[in-house]
Amino acid sequence: MLYLVGLGLSDETDITVKGLEVVKKASRVYLEAYTSILLVDKSVLETYYGRPVIVADREMVESDSDAILHDAQNVDVAFLVVGDPFGATTHTDIVLRARELHIPVRTVPNASIMSGIGAAGLQLYNFGQTVSMVFFTDNWRPASFYDRIKENRDIGLHTLVLLDIKVKEQSLENMARGRKIYEPPRYMTVGTCAQQMLEVEEEKGLGAYGPESLAIGAARVGGKTEKFVAGTLKELCEADDVLGPPLHSLVLLGRRTHELEHDFVREFAVDRENWDRIWKAEYQGKH
């Protein structure tokens, strides 16, 4: 059996009882280590599980899945995923490959950022499409997220923005020369995300959002040091010091924001008077 086991959002203790039982009896245990990260090192997981854990990077999962699936018709293999196993579409690929090999598959769900973001005080059924934000470069500034945000905003829904992480990435030069030299890990912050969003709005000019649009920055959701900061996109450009270390996410408020949501979120506001002013002018009663 191939088991896809969700690890939750924070540390070694977030695994479910069912998931831990799977890990303890599996012949091999892999940790997917590129779509997200836990807030603890692999060694902490190994100590808690009492088992060695093999790190499965993007190259292994996408190009050498047969190594992970080897002999899984006869033994149990655990594939550990931060958050929920199907929070990233990548993991459908390994399931389809397992089906081709007639390997049974079972999923052990867990909390993901898609559900954990509810701790910010917004009602999950008021969220629209989730989008991703990648690091811009001098010659690569993808803006496909913009149209989805505009669609959400047009019908008044919140947008969860997932922020880029770069783990085991090669520079263009090293990639071109075939050198297995990797860049240090990089994790996008709310400030970078907000700034890039405003740059794209300036280019597009379609009014999907703007500097005065209300948003929430979230850091280490589900962890002991979980932190939320609410403000305008302009204010969140300067909120990184308050939010602290990764992982970060951002939520752009929809205009259908309920009063209960407002009352909950305003406690996180950088400037409560400004938050109240904008909410009353732009969001209150926009159902």
Query: Judging by beta carbons within 10 Å of its beta carbon (0-12, 13-18, 19+), is residue 30 exposed, middle or buried?
Result: buried
206 known ligand binder: no
9 known ligand binder: yes
> Are 119 and 142 within 8 A, CB to CB?
no
221 known ligand binder: yes
β-strand partners of 106: 3
Range 40-49, long-range pairs (CB < 8 A, 24+ positions) = 40/11, 40/12, 44/11, 44/12, 45/12, 45/80, 47/12, 48/12, 48/13, 49/12, 49/20, 49/23, 49/24
154 known ligand binder: no
113 known ligand binder: yes
Angle at alpha carbon of residue 13, lines to 113 and 161, rounded to 5°: 10
70 known ligand binder: no
Pull the structure tokens for residue 275: 């938050």
- Known binding-site residues for S-adenosyl-L-methionine equal 9, 84, 87, 112-113, 163, 221, 248
- Known binding-site residues equal 9, 84, 87, 112-113, 163, 221, 248
